[in-house]
Chains A and B, each alone.
Chain A
């Protein structure tokens, strides 16, 4: 093998140049012969019974090739939901509509104009029903039920209780409590949802679409279309953004499938911006009430958490939102007694589901608490954090072992780089500094995910194709997997091509959520490459007349007999591949990797896998990190500007510093948007979302991006490939806590509700001024 390692090298992301030059081919660029254009008719009501759908006029319009409705064209009762408990979602409903923008009917026509005309020619008779937009309203006595079989609109409940929290809090030296909230947030993905389906006469559905997890989407389509898995093929294509928002089985794909089968032609469905924002997925609004007990020395004695989550109209995949905050919150700070009591509540709004920053309220609550309690207990806030930070090999309340963590190191480093202790309390009025920590799970089980399998096949010239069920959302998984394979095989990255996320050619993979691409998929790739390398050495040995163990690969890439003096004979990889093929044992490699998880409920008889089983190793690895921020508060308008961020990432071994840095900037920008700029608003009268465009949903741009310094710690993880874990989320999940603390440092007010809106801050500032004035006058 060549002496120089690829691990730790900055390698530009494969495919970025094409994207930057506008040459990447996205789903919407694929045009198949005879392709039709699909359009979806959507509900104007937040909640209504569907009385009748009349499609006759639409069907008669020349150029219309298919019209589909739930009642006529979908298998009865085929519901989507990622676990049995949450199978509540008809992807094309026929009973009720439950939010504005929900799919009602669809057409396929020879062009988009005709499809639009036909959609508006469909007559739907609705019986409007009262609706609920907030969890508070949804839980009121007599509130309209989003799903009749779920009393009080309770979609699901999840409880973890370790130790006796009440007792622990009662015995604490000091108990701090507060309520935190965060609003519904959108992924605001730049590439609108697009799906292309080509139904073949053999009965097979070919899909091209954006997805983070082709195998899970295929499973959802299999459950709802009622066709064998082998009749559904997903092709992965370059994507314009994902961030968790492409994890579901989207109704748009299901409908493209129905239309294509009915018309016998390929059908493309491309959403408008408004359709994306109304009818794809959001991040749930949350209320997070926490009580934290502290001992005199600052050690946390117990935490009691109560969370309400708005899941939107369906719990189908929103259930994940119920589980994940625990996986973040229970890990960061040690807590001998711990209760996590979480409730998912239906509302007549856009469906909530996965998003990269969904768990930030938990970390924020602790960082804000530390900032306040440090004064109360007279302990330096950094000391207080270090006292409670989780250490390697500790066991979290729900019984996962944290095999690697450099949380403490990240706190110390962020504080040092930002000169936190020198600046805190000493900056000019209106300027402030704050610190916050976060973490993220790398590979999370969820009751249905396990390992990944990779395959490598060599060509006659020594080049090869790597097959992985994992895909590339833009973060650089193709680059990662190529790099790992090249490292193990000792061949140039340019000779490896990756076939990814094709459900027919590739083996199953957990998919790209909860950060499994490195700890799971790349481990499988590594094993496949090692397997292929063994075969290469074997054939090389045959050619050189020695055993496999006697063969070595030198820096020129050729295979030699070990310890031979002088140049000696050698063979190239091409020689090996050609001769292996002739001998009837071609060079390939196969690699299985099963994540280190407690799979004890992974059985067919468990009714509610995962949701019932609350204890055990649920996560393979955890990443950590800390961010320090400096802010400027405009005391006349209440507007907060983050001017500087120092971010420290405990992502294990850094495989590719360039990509890690890029991911860190992305995460900080995403968090910044949700922390300061982005708000979703619903019209209380109609139930319509009012923020479905980029004009109204204010994603920050390069102009709002502060000065950012990124650091990595490079402490290896025992499970991840070469010691790597997750590099793009965990470190930044403490940003909101850091900003909240910095606002306090700047102007002396406390904020608990994300986003931190200028109007709220101005109001709090005025209240504070008035209070101070009164004090002055009376004193």
Chain B
């Protein structure tokens, strides 16, 4: 079967309001796939993975494609494309980490079609924006029949219930936050991260008050490098400490072999990526 590339049969619905979308999904929770940009969904349907009776597009739902600056946070509609986020001045200024990661994702075509909502909701280890949002403490707004609720992106996969869908991502803006992002793939661009590391550091000078380290390319749901974070907290970020944290992150990460790389090599990469991302956070503008 895996030679076939045609789409299977399905019914397409495109509700014109949030309410309509919520009630359709509520009526057919198990028979519906939500479609945002479709860059993952259509491909998987062609491979006959998770095919359902309905495809409900969010394209016609108004208001999901806006980026708004609110007090203490940036609100990004779930239908905002990856490229729009990478280019948005408010994101670049207030959430540099997110903008950097979006700019490194996929290809221009994918960035222009794919959305942040699709990336966050796809529940795949390959989704590169998820660790970035976790490092940033971002939250997701879910819409359902009973209205909407907000959960942390980190908890999203555990939290989300049948009949709910993502409408918005809320990224807190924290003054004095330093960040670093490293992505390793065979190709510099146009490739999924074999390993990526996103770090956000709060603190003054070199002393770290709080640290969030999230990893990509590892087995779900161990995206956070908690022990590494603890190592950094309250201490001065010397090179030696960074290496110690990076080693802890690599040791704890649950990652398996893929068709090209062994698990040991990926652990090695995690160490290098975390340490580089931390160094980047400590002295921005300098790589590695």
Contact = CB atoms under 8 A, between A and B. Distances in A.
Contact of A274 (B2, B6, B261): B2
Interface in A456-504: none
Contact of A703 (B1, B5, B187, B272): B187
Nearest to B188: A703
Interface in A724-779: 758-759, 762
B165 to A, nearest CB: 27
Nearest to A681: B259
Interface stretch (A46-54, A154-162, A694-702): A694-702
Interface string B1-41: 11111100000000000000000000000000000000000
A227 interface: no
Contacts of B6: 112-113, 116
B239 interface: no
A701 B186 CA distance: 11
Nearest to B184: A637
A679 B260 contact: yes
Given A637-B272, A759-B262, A704 B3 contact: no
Interface in A701-727: 701, 703-704
B54 interface: no
Contact of A698 (B4, B184, B191, B265): B191
A504 to B, nearest CB: 33
Interface string B254-288: 00000111100100110010000000000000000
Contact of B4 (A116, A637, A759, A762): A116
A700 B3 contact: no
Contact of A636 (B4, B191, B272): B272
B149 interface: no
A681 B260 contact: yes
Contacts of A681: 259-260
Interface string A17-46: 000000000000000000000001010000
B189 interface: yes
A255 B191 CA distance: 36
B245 to A, nearest CB: 16
A274 B4 CA distance: 9
B192 interface: yes
Contact of B3 (A112, A113, A274): A274
Query: Which of A40, A101, A636, A700 has its CB near the most chain B CB atoms (within 10 A)?
Result: A636
A701 to B, nearest CB: 5
Query: Which of A677, A700, A758 has its CB near the most chain B CB atoms (within 10 A)?
Result: A758
Contacts of A758: 186, 265
A704 B189 CA distance: 9
A758 B3 CA distance: 31
A677 B189 CA distance: 13
A275 B189 CA distance: 26
B273 to A, nearest CB: 9
B187 A698 contact: yes
A421 interface: no
B189 A696 contact: no
A542 to B, nearest CB: 62
Interface string A249-281: 000000000000000000000001111001000
Given A681-B260, A695-B192, A762-B265, A272 B272 contact: no
A703 to B, nearest CB: 5
A700 B187 contact: yes
Contact of A275 (B3, B184, B260): B3
A540 B6 CA distance: 61
A644 B18 CA distance: 54
Which secondary structure characterizes the binding site on chain B? Answer: loop
Given A113-B6, A272-B3, A698-B191, A759 B259 contact: no
B190 A701 contact: yes
A398 interface: no
Interface string B124-137: 00000000000000
Nearest to B190: A701
Contact of B187 (A120, A677, A690): A677
Contacts of B262: 759
Contacts of A704: 187-188
A210 interface: no
Nearest to B7: A113
A576 to B, nearest CB: 54
A486 B66 CA distance: 60
Contacts of A272: 3-5
Query: Which of B188, B189, B190, B261 has its CB near the most chain A CB atoms (within 10 A)?
Result: B190
Contacts of A695: 192
Query: Which of B4, B191, B259 has its CB near the most chain A CB atoms (within 10 A)?
Result: B4
Interface string A87-110: 000000000000001000000000
A691 interface: yes
B53 to A, nearest CB: 17
A105 to B, nearest CB: 13
Contacts of A690: 259
A637 B269 CA distance: 6
Nearest to B185: A698
Contacts of A677: 186-187
Nearest to B5: A272
A274 B268 CA distance: 32
Given A116-B6, A275-B3, A701 B265 contact: no
A179 B262 CA distance: 24
Contacts of A112: 6
Nearest to A759: B265
Contact of A691 (B3, B187, B259, B269): B259
Contacts of B191: 698
Interface string A638-680: 0100000000000000000000000000000000000001010
Contacts of A273: 5
A636 B4 CA distance: 41
A367 to B, nearest CB: 25
B232 to A, nearest CB: 20
Contacts of B265: 758-759, 762
Given A637-B184, A677-B186, A120 B260 contact: no
Interface in B189-230: 189-192
A42 B1 CA distance: 9
Contacts of B184: 637, 639
Contacts of A691: 259
A348 B59 CA distance: 47
A189 to B, nearest CB: 16
Contacts of A101: 3
A616 B145 CA distance: 82
A677 B4 CA distance: 27
13 contacts: A120-B1, A273-B5, A274-B2, A637-B268, A639-B184, A677-B187, A681-B259, A691-B259, A698-B187, A703-B188, A703-B189, A704-B188, A759-B261
Interface of B: 1-6, 184, 186-192, 259-262, 265, 268-269, 272
Closest 7 pairs between A and B when the two form their complex, measured CB to CB? A272-B5, A636-B272, A759-B265, A698-B186, A703-B188, A703-B189, A681-B259
Given A679-B260, A698-B187, 11 more contacts: A101-B3, A112-B6, A274-B2, A637-B269, A677-B186, A703-B187, A704-B188, A758-B186, A758-B265, A759-B262, A759-B265
Interface of A: 40, 42, 101, 112-113, 116, 120, 272-275, 278, 636-637, 639, 677, 679, 681, 690-691, 695-696, 698, 700-701, 703-704, 758-759, 762
